[in-house]
Amino acid sequence: MQTYQDMVFSTAVRLLADEAQAEDVAQTVFLKAYERFDALRANPAAPGWLKTVAVNLSLNHISRYRRRLHFFAGWSGAEDEVIEPEFEVPDTLLDDLLAEERSARIEQALERLPSHQRVPLVLFHFDEMSYQDIAALLGVSMAKVKTDIFRARAALAKLLVEEQS
Amino acid sequence: MRFAHWLSYEMQRMPLRRAPATLQASVLAELARRAARPWWQRHFLQWPLPARVAFLLLSVLVTRLALELGSWTAAALATSLRDAREGLTLLSAFGRVGRALIEVVPVDILYGTAGLMVLLYGALLALGAVAYRTFHE
């Protein structure tokens, strides 16, 4: 458990943006792992299993404990595929900061994004999931995922630029 | 630099967030709590073998009883329907008698009888009210 607890907690907290809820999710992940202890003990796929369970439980947690209708209103609208131009940010964005400080700024900015933007963004950039996999996981169209990730990036860039200035 | 690439690069390099120190303790506490639960509150596969066998036998028995009860109820319902059909036949016989009486008995006597019935019904209600006030209050 000690080996993977940071990984499981990080996965949950980046999706949920709430440490207490992330701890609850991490606890549930390890309790589920304990039920399958014999199968997972010497299994090289155990970290992947833990991460997948953490992602799924975090998404369940979001849909259960936040205002469900409001949250899914963000997900549900089917949108036509819109190819939006990639925006530019200053080359010097957060350049003056140490790596740890830069990470902390990004983490803080992520926490300020709404769930329907933060979740696909985290799944895409942190967990390196494809648009298709994210769309399947969230039960929305791929166009919707692309649009939400684009808007999340724009919102994140704005927050980081504001922070810097 | 494209922001998406920058973001991917930065996020991939971000260190893991440290789990709270209470996480491990809370998991262990929950496991201890679960281990202390009586056997009947645990997963069925963790029940003692005799209890599992007894439960399965009881389930079979209950299912059998439920099926018996179902067939008994269906038979009783069929009998009730048959009785009801006979009752309807009896009711239609009463109707025919009533129609014959109306044709034979003069109208004045019929209205008088109906009025008397209403009067008696009212008297019964009044008597009930008086009895209630007298004996209850």
Residues of chain A with pLDDT under 70: 65-96, 165
Asked if the structure places residue B110 within a domain, the reply is no
Evaluate whether residue B135 is within a structural domain. no
For residue B97, being part of any structural domain is answered with: yes
Domain count, chain B: 1
Asked if residue B100 is part of any domain, the answer here is yes
Residues of B with a Cβ under 8 Å from any A Cβ are 1-4, 6-8, 10-20, 22-24, 26-27, 30-31
- Domain residues for B16? 3-104
Residue A149, both tokens: 């990730």
Are the beta carbons of B19 and A14 separated by less than 8 Å? no
d(CA A7, CA B19) in angstroms, rounded, equals 8
**Is B77 within the bounds of a domain?**
yes
Q: First-to-last CA distance in chain A?
A: 41
Model-level ipTM above the cut of 0.95: no
Give, in degrees to the nearest 5, the angle at Cα A154 between A113 and B18: 45
Whether B30 is in a domain gets the answer yes
Contacts of A27 in chain B (CB under 8 A): 23, 26-27, 30
pTM over 0.90, yes/no: no
Asked whether residue B119 is assigned to any structural domain, the reply reads no
Contact between residue A31 and residue A45 where contact means Cβ atoms under 8 Å apart: no
Does A143 lie at the interface with B, CB-CB under 8 angstroms? no
B71 C-beta neighbours (distance < 10 Å), count = 9
For residue A87, the chain B residues in CB contact (below 8 A) are: 3
Is B113 inside any structural domain? no
pLDDT, tens only, B80-119: 888 888 888 888 888 888 888 888 888 888 889 999 999 9
